[in-house]
Amino acid sequence: MPEKIKLIIQAIGGYGAGFVMTADNMEDEYEIVTAIDPYAKDSPAFDEFEDKAVFDTLEEFFAAGHTADALVCSSPIQFHADHFTQALEKGLHVLCEKPLCASDQEARQMLESAQKYPELVNLIGFQWSFSPAILKAKKQIIDGLWGAPISLKAIVRWPRGYSYYARNDWAGKLKDSKGAFVCDSVLSNATAHYLHNPLFMLGDSLEKSAMPSNIEAETYKAFDIETFDTAFVDLDVPNHNSLDTKVFVVVSHSCEGTDDPIIEYNFEKGKMWRTKDDRLVGELEGQSVDFGIIGSNFEGYYNKLKHFYDCIKKTQEPVCTAQTAYPVFKTTDYILNEIPTKSFRADLIEEVPMGANDKRLAVKGLDALMQESFDKMILPQKLGRDFT
C-alpha cells in the first residue's frame, strides 16, 4: 500500500471542517497530523484533534520538530497568498481554497512562488475543475468533438440574509478591519465557480483557463456593503480555435427567489447543461450524453483531495493551479476596481423573512430581469432596464 500523505489543515472552521471530515474518511491516502488555526477550538471539527497538538501558525508547527508532506489552506481570502507561499517555502505541497486571492500583488506573489517550486504541487480549490465529469467534457471540447464553442452562460440566484454579511469582519467588504484586502463579492467568492468554469472549459489544455479579451459588466447592491450583491457579466473569451466565445454570467444575493444554479454551454454540434440532481448532461448531434455527477458538497471535497493525492504521488498532472485560477481572478479584479457599482432604487427593495431568525433584502422584479438578461445574453442597460 502506498505511504500515506501527512496532511496539515490550515483553518478548520467553515470549509476547513469539510476537509477534516473528508480526509478522515480517506484513511488509505491521508494522515492528518495537525490543524493550524488560532481559533481551532471554535470549529465543529475540533474533536478530531483531541489527541493531536494544534498550532496557531505553521512556523510553530515546524519549530516543535514536526514534519508533514502537504497542506490544505482554508483560511479567509486575505490570508491565501501568505499561507500559500509559506507552505511552498516549507517544502509542502499545497491545496488552497478558492478564490485565488484578493489583489493583483498577491496574485503575482502566488504565481512567482509556484514557479519557484515546480517540484511541489499547487492547486486552487475550484471544485468543478476536479470533477471527472467536467474533465471528461473539457477533453471532448478540446478534441473538437463538440465543434466550436458558441456561448457559455450561467445564472445563480442565491439569496443571503443579514447574518451572512454580519458573520465576520470581511463579508461584502474591500478590506477587513485590519486593512487587509479581501474584495469579497457575490461574484468573486460565493459564486466564483460559475465564472471560473466557463473560462476553465475554454482553456486549450486541461490545466489552462482562457483569459477574456473583453469585459463588460454591471454591478448592483441592495445591501449596505462595500462591494456588490448582484452582477451581470458579459465576456468575450478566445476559445481553442482562437475565435471569441461569449461567456455570460448573472448572479445575485438580493434576488426574490432561490433556485439551483443553471449552466448552459452551447457548441456548433450540441449543448451541455447541469441538471437539478447535479449531473452534467448534453445533447451531441441529436444524441443524449451523460457525463455523470459534477460533485458538490462532500463529493467536491473528495474530488479535490483525491486529485491532490494523485498529483503528489505523480499519477496525475495538476488541472487547477494558481495559473489556472488567474484568469477568473483578473476578471473579478477588473470588475471590482473598474466597474462602478450602483445601488438599487430604494422603492424596489423590500425586507423579507429568511428562516426563523433572519431577514434579507429582495429587489422587486430582479428575478425577471436576471432571467431576461440570461436568456438574451444582454446586459440590463442595453435592454433598457433601469433599476437604479
Res 1: pLDDT: 55
Last residue of a domain, one of 128, 158, 187: 128
Instruction: Provide the domain count of the chain.
Output: 2
Distance of CA 59 to the CA centre of its chain: 28
Res 239: pLDDT: 84
Segments in the chain below pLDDT 70: 1
In this structure, the answer to whether residues 89 and 228 fall within a common structural domain is no
Question: Which residue type does 25 have?
Answer: N
Res 222: pLDDT: 98
Is 234 exposed, middle or buried, given 0-12, 13-18 or 19+ CB atoms closer than 10 A? buried
In this structure, the answer to whether residues 211 and 343 fall within a common structural domain is yes
Res 243: pLDDT: 83
* Distance set, CA 264 to CA 73, 187, 197, 272 (Å): 31, 18, 11, 6
Res 337: pLDDT: 96
In this structure, the answer to whether residues 70 and 113 fall within a common structural domain is yes
What is the domain range of residue 63? 5-128
Last residue of a domain, one of 106, 128, 150: 128
Last residue of a domain, one of 113, 128, 143: 128
Residue linked to cell 443524449: 288
